[in-house]
Amino acid sequence: MSHAPSPAGPSNRAGPVVTSAPRTGSAAHAGQRTGRGGTALVTGASSGIGAAVVRRLAAEGGWRMVLNGRDVTRLEQVAALAGAVALPADLTRPGAGRRLTELALDHLGELDLLVAGAGVGWAGDFTAMPAARIDEVVGVDLLANLHLVRTVLPHMVAAGSGRVVLVGSLAGSVGVRGEAVYSAAKAALAAFADALRYELRGTGVRVSHVVPGVVDTPFFDRRGTPYTRPWPRPVPPARVADAVWTAVRRDKDEVYVPGWLRVPALVRGAAPGLYRRLAARFG
């Protein structure tokens, strides 16, 4: 049901595309904690939510960023406008998360913030879903994020501060008809955010989970099925970027976009039988 931007395809370009200068030095971790800038790695940054997050951080000022995505042309454009470094890569490839982390640290010196915004979807009956698409959705939406976070965390823990923002979906909170695998991957990401948050308590590293509903991005075109439901109405990606900023600035564990979407998630948790009857009737 909602949705981080989908990469358009693997890059054939090896190595970084530098669209800003810095390779040494970095903003203080204290600056990130107080919202006055810092260093950030943003994935899924070539369009949609990821690109909106880049624009939001750039507008705040003081942020030096490394951007990742698989659409090289769009990624370069976003990076150029933000004065950032573009590192195109397919994060589903073995070792890609480790290589991206090393390159990001090479350019930035340290990482205050990771915004994991890459995602793909597929809609239709589960029995009709090609096996390759199952692997792709789980690989991009879940496994690539786990591997990337795994390589970033030791550096944040060693520094004693940092924040990981995972962009999830309402589909992971309530399950959505016709999006069984996407819902499963995003539900796993939500559980990972909770478990990791408990594990990191006392380290100075924080975990935020941003949960959008339907977002007006190219996600639906790329998954092969347009969004046709009359409700809820799509929100602009800038609104999700604002939620990411709220999580960073106000130290929020979880932010729903829009906020009222927390209600169906709460109803499902408190009265699952009632929720399922309503969902079966109204979709």
Rounded CA gap, 237 and 217, in Å? 7
Rounded CA gap, 85 and 237, in Å? 21
| Cβ atoms 63, 85 nearer than 8 A | no
- DSSP bridge pairs for 113: 40, 163
Rounded CA gap, 240 and 73, in Å? 23
The count of other CB atoms within 10 Å of the CB of residue 208 is 24
Contacts of residue 104, defined as CB under 8 A and 6 or more positions apart, other chains included, come to 41, 66, 87, 111
* Active-site entry in 182, 198, 256, 275: 182
Distance of CA 168 to the CA centre of its chain: 7
| Cβ atoms 16, 103 nearer than 8 A | yes
Q: Percentages helix, strand, coil for the chain, rounded to the nearest 5? A: 50, 15, 35
Residue 182 falls in the annotated catalytic set = yes
| Beta strand extents in 77-134 (DSSP E only) | 85-86, 113-116
At residue 14, the 3 state secondary structure works out as coil
- Structure-token match 């060693």, residue found: 158
The residues that are catalytic are 182
